[in-house]
Amino acid sequence: MSQAESVYLRPIAFAASPQSEDGRCVRLGGSMVWASRFAVIHRRDGRVVSAERYSAPDVAQALTVLPEALANNAEAQWKALQQVHAPIQCGERTIRFDQPQVMGILNMTPDSFSDGGAFMDDPQVAHDHAASMLEAGASIIDVGGESTRPGAAAVWEGDELERVIPMVERLAAMGAAVSVDTRRPAVMEAALDAGAHIINDVSALRYDPRSIELAARANVPVVLMHAPGDGDDLHSGGGYADVVLDVFDWLGHRRDAALAAGIDKANIILDPGIGFGKTLAENLALLNALPLFHALGQPIMVGASRKRMIGALSNEAPAHARLGGSLMLAARAFDSGVQVLRVHDVAETVQSVHVWRGLRDAALTDFSYLPD
């Protein structure tokens, strides 16, 4: 068997509840989403050579006929798809992964694509905005001091520290669960010292080799996001053979690198990096394939809020006018079992989570499928 061969288990059909399929389905990633059919995809040298489809009860047997190396990997993915993820502890707050959690974005930058500059000049305004997101139901506040939009200039480390650390201190004093959105180890360390609980690195701990060592020592949750570029330009170097499978493989490699560096498996969250070095078609393909990423065995985070793709699909609507599209993409993520949604519009997204959860609860208690 060629070393360039790989296998993937992609959920392709879903059930409203286990009883609707008489139990012939599996729960994805400990979420409230059940999958009833799967494609077993075989790839060789970057090309898909087969995609066989199976109902959930038949998958385990189907994997036994694969070549040994592929079978072992496929069996690990089958187990990972069904893994229930333990909650993470962020100070006094417990973040559970059995339903979608909303992460509110707080950009302490002058040039972010959506709300750059709105919270920099007056710390009280930023504080009040963060408080309103928490009151609206945000589970986590993600504080960033550097724009990562295409073409944004790199920020000097001292400026990033000055933007981020005072707000992290304020949020920690409020008892919030705080994530720091940075790729610089000095900012990570200072933010953790100031009370942050999570590291959210858009470079997946690649930008500075010291970051992965720091994350392992700190023993805190880390978000590893896919971006094709190195250095300051994270958006360059796409060129995917198959964007879904390439991003899946890439995230698997970064997960393995984190584990090898001593980061606890329970502390790793993966993000497919919507909008980072991807075309509209590639972003749409990733969003449609989100259930596949449960096969990596980690909680999934998605950040598609107000992104350029929404404007591209809606007469070039500006960033502040993309609420409808943002909620549609959030719903897609909910239906895929995604555990964390990173958003600008917290109150509206939390409301959509509540309604989605109501629909799921109703399906779980609907026994009309059962015989009298």
pLDDT tens digits, residue range 313-358?
Answer: 999 999 999 999 999 999 999 999 999 999 999 999 999 999 999 9
Say how far apart CA 97 and CA 84 lie, in whole Å.
Answer: 8
Q: Which of 81, 105, 123 is the last residue of a domain?
A: 81
Give the pLDDT band (50/70/90) at residue 21.
Answer: very high
Let me know if 79 is a catalytic residue: no
CA distance 204 to 224: 4
Clarify whether residues 163 and 232 are in a common domain.
Answer: yes
| 3-class secondary-structure state, position 117 | coil
- Is 306 a residue of the active site? no
Residue ranges making up the domain that contains 180: 88-360
117 or 175, which is more confident: 175
Whether residue 370 is contained in a domain is answered as no
Which pLDDT band holds residue 53 (cuts at 50, 70, 90)? very high
Domain count, the chain: 2
Answer whether 267's CB lies under 8 Å from 221's CB: yes
Q: Which two tokens stand for residue 142?
A: 């993600």
Tell me what pLDDT residue 1 has: 37
Give the pLDDT confidence score for residue 120 in this predicted structure: 55
CA–CA dist 142, 159 (Å, integer): 18
Map residue 51 onto helix, strand or coil: strand
Residue 221, in any domain of the structure: yes
Cα 134 to Cα 91: distance, rounded to the nearest angstrom: 15
Indicate whether 124 and 195 sit together in one domain. Answer: yes
Whether residue 40 is predicted with pLDDT greater than 50 in this model: the reply is yes
Is residue 367, in this structure, part of any structural domain at all?
A: no
Task: Assess whether 276 and 219 both reside in one domain.
Answer: yes
Given 27, 307, 322, 360, the catalytic residue: 307
d(CA 328, CA 314): 12
Q: Distance between CA 358 and CA 292 in Å, rounded?
A: 25
**What is the CB neighbour count within 10 angstroms for residue 102?**
23
User: Dihedral sign, CA of 116, 117, 123, 129?
Assistant: negative
Same domain, 41 and 182: no
| Residue 53: both structure tokens together | 């489809």
Whether residue 101 sits in one domain with residue 74:
no
The whole-number pLDDT of residue 310 equals 97
* Same domain, yes or no: 110 and 92: yes
**Strands, E assignment, 108-256:** 140-144, 178-181, 198-201, 222-225
Q: What mean pLDDT is reported for the chain?
A: 93
- Residue 259 within a domain: yes
Q: Would 296 be classed as within a structural domain?
A: yes
pLDDT at 114 over 60: no
At residue 142, the pLDDT reads 97
Are residues 103 and 55 part of one domain?
A: no
**Do both 184 and 323 map to the same domain?**
yes
Instruction: Write down the number of H helices and E strands in the chain.
Output: 11, 14
Select which of 170, 206, 342, 360 is catalytic.
Answer: 342
Q: Is the model's pLDDT at 113 over the cut of 70?
A: no
Q: Does residue 371 belong to any structural domain of this protein?
A: no
Residue 228 has pLDDT above 60, yes or no: yes
Domain boundary among 81, 108, 138: 81
Judgement on whether residues 75 and 120 belong to the same structural domain of the protein: no
Q: What share of the chain is helix, strand, coil (3-state, %, to 5)?
A: 40, 20, 40
Q: Is the domain of 97 the same as that of 68?
A: no
**Residue 99 confidence (pLDDT):** 93
> What's the mean pLDDT in 92-103?
96
> Which CATH number fits the domain that encloses residue 198?
3.20.20.20
Same domain, 97 and 158: yes
* pLDDT attached to residue 2: 42
CA-to-CA distance for 259 and 343, rounded, in angstroms?
A: 28
Would you place residue 369 in the very low, low, confident or very high pLDDT band (cuts 50, 70, 90)?
confident
Supply the DSSP symbol for 206. Answer: -
Query: Which pLDDT score, from 0 to 100, does residue 109 have?
Result: 82
**Is the Cα torsion angle 343, 348, 354, 355 positive or negative in sign?**
negative
pTM: predicted TM-score of the whole model, two decimal places:
0.94
The total of other beta-carbon atoms located within 10 Å of residue 152's CB is: 18
Residue 365 falls inside a structural domain = no
Measured N-to-C along each axis, helices 185-194 and 157-173 cross at an angle, to the nearest 10 degrees, of: 20
Q: Do 217 and 317 belong to one domain?
A: yes
Domain-terminating residue out of 56, 81, 106: 81
- Per-residue model confidence (pLDDT) at position 157: 85
| 152 Cβ neighbours under 8 A, 6+ residues apart | 111, 146
Residues 257-309: pLDDT tens digits?
999 999 999 999 999 999 999 999 999 999 999 999 999 999 999 999 999 99
Whether residue 211 is predicted with pLDDT greater than 90 in this model: the reply is yes
d(Cα 138, Cα 103) in Å, to the nearest integer? 6
